[in-house]
Amino acid sequence: MTGVFDALTADRGRLDRASAAQRVADVLRDHITEGLLAPGTRLSEEALGEALTVSRNTLREAFRLLADERLVVHKMNRGVFVRILEPDDVADIYTLRLALETAGVRALRSATPERLAAVRTALNRAEAAEAAGDWITVGTADLHFHQAVAGIAGSERIDECMARLMAELRLAFAAVPSARGLHAPFLRRNQTLAGLLETGEIDDAEVELTSYLNDARAVIVRAMTDGSVTDGSVPDGSVTDSSVTDGSA
Amino acid sequence: MTGVFDALTADRGRLDRASAAQRVADVLRDHITEGLLAPGTRLSEEALGEALTVSRNTLREAFRLLADERLVVHKMNRGVFVRILEPDDVADIYTLRLALETAGVRALRSATPERLAAVRTALNRAEAAEAAGDWITVGTADLHFHQAVAGIAGSERIDECMARLMAELRLAFAAVPSARGLHAPFLRRNQTLAGLLETGEIDDAEVELTSYLNDARAVIVRAMTDGSVTDGSVPDGSVTDSSVTDGSA
DNA sequence: GCTAGGGGATTGTGGAACAATCCGACAAGA
DNA sequence: TCTTGTCGGATTGTTCCACAATCCCCTAGC
């Protein structure tokens, strides 16, 4: 049964175009993770349906997808809201992150060259963005760097799990006033980690990774708890309506 | 703000009744993981909607939830089907399992007593089922045992991740002819692992866990590849129609 | 100042309709 | 005989509409 067309199989996925619900979810996911939709914003079915020219039913299917990814929360008879992350959530995210990235480090010996190269590529991108002073892009590249670390394991499910985690983490970044203060201290440590990986020092890499993630978690949690200052990235006053202030707990 | 009603918070979830889509998804998930819906079965919107007396809209929202959990696959303009696991999927599942359960073992020092006790509880249930010759229940208890191991980490997200993984794994069990042949050899090793955890031998537990999961993976993958024999759990001939045979990759 | 209740808006769910698409069968041609 | 074009039936994809349920806010009354 195997023949000369086997190479096409990989591209088969491109054939089935995404459904409308999938596309809507993609658009909303981008907007949320880019910070264009502030945490707490209510996503009205009618308003969004009109803006995206899709029906309420289709929109609701998209909401299900995003709720499953924890990017929005469903409140019965009240609608869906962009998720507001609590400090506990951040701590929990880092616990899972540690497990996944550790799995990547430990799989170093059996890693494919492409997977390993992706780590360095992401790191280079982060430093280029740093040199340009573009701290938003630095944040993106940093997340990609860590996705690449977990990706060393070569597992489809680990990749997806990390991708979700990183999208969720972006919600936390939105709660930290200064992107620069958040990312700058960790760029050099990324460099250290990448070096250890490239020289195959697995145990040292694991120690560094653990310490790194613990520190990062502490920084974000602290910024969230005493963080009363925002740098004005909140789009406009509509976010301050009453529906935002009530906690999700 | 904290008061005498804090204990009620845990049960708050029971208050907001689940939406119809959620309930439908729950029912279907149970049927799938219990093996009542064989992999490859097509889930007709009209037939299912009639059977559950819900509208197509609601059903489609439920399908989105299940597709996100990888229990069903969406094929554009063709409908949704109960997922058929490939050997590669099983291998991948075990990779993630190892990462999550290892995280549990490593968190042993800071584990709560309840979390640790859950490991022994699940194990006892498995052995009771074994004594009764109920191998289906043994399979369930075995999955709960491993969920408890990962649960030692005390992370909400790790728990959810494991729960999904276990549901998915059930699809693989459906491809193995003999439940007894699958589970029996591993019951004793569960016992060993639990013992190491209870005596706090973290490193040994981790080694045993790794070896355990590698062996289990090998058993299932082998059973799936050369598994031409089924024990007749496939409901009827409708499963053999052409739409089932094409791979999902 | 607090409780109770009404009004308005939005969601939850069902139902129907139409277009788009896929599958299988049949027919035509080499 | 094998391949290719075409047609018809069935199911999904998506939209629109309707109505009940629920929640929030505001006002009235004590």
DSSP code string of B204-220: HHHHHHHHHHHHHHHHH
pLDDT in tens, A168-185: 998 888 777 777 878 888
* Protein-nucleic contacts, chain A 214-243 to strand D, CB < 7 Å: 242-243
CA distance B189 to chain A (A): 23
Inter-axis angle of helices A20-33 and A56-68, to 10 degrees? 50
Q: Nearest nt (C1') to B76 (CA)?
A: D12
CB B164 within 8 A of CB B29: no
Q: Rounded to an integer, what distance in angstroms lies between the CA atom of residue B71 and that of residue B169?
A: 10
pLDDT at site B227: 56
| A48-CA/C6-C1' distance, Å | 30
Q: Which residue has the higher pLDDT, A215 or A19?
A: A215
* Whether B64 and A21 lie within 8 Å, measured CB to CB: yes
pLDDT in tens, B103-156: 999 999 999 999 999 999 999 999 999 999 988 889 889 999 999 999 999 999
pLDDT at A120 over 50: yes
pLDDT in tens, B60-95: 989 999 999 999 999 988 999 999 999 999 999 999
Q: Which of residues 142-171 of B touch A (CB under 8 A)?
A: 153-158, 161, 165
Inter-axis angle of helices A135-151 and A87-106, to 10 degrees? 50
- pLDDT classification of A227: cutoffs 50, 70, 90: low
Any B CB within 8 A of A61 CB: yes
Any strand D atom closer than 7 Å to A2 CB = no
Do the strands A42-43 and A72-75 form a parallel or antiparallel pair, or are they unpaired? Answer: unpaired
CA distance B129 to chain A (A): 31
The mean pLDDT of B12-31, rounded to a whole number, is: 76
Any B CB within 8 A of A73 CB: no
Q: Rounded to an integer, what distance in angstroms lies between the CA atom of residue A129 and that of residue A136?
A: 8
CA distance A57 to chain B (A): 7
What's the mean per-residue pLDDT of chain A? 85
Any A CB within 8 A of B60 CB: yes
CB B100 within 8 A of CB B162: yes
Chain A positions in Cβ-Cβ contact with residue B65 (cut-off 8 Å): 64, 68
Any A CB within 8 A of B74 CB: yes
| B77-CA/D6-C1' distance, Å | 21
Q: Which residue has the higher pLDDT, A219 or A102?
A: A102
pLDDT in tens, B143-177: 999 999 999 999 999 999 999 999 999 888 877 77
pLDDT at B246 over 50: no
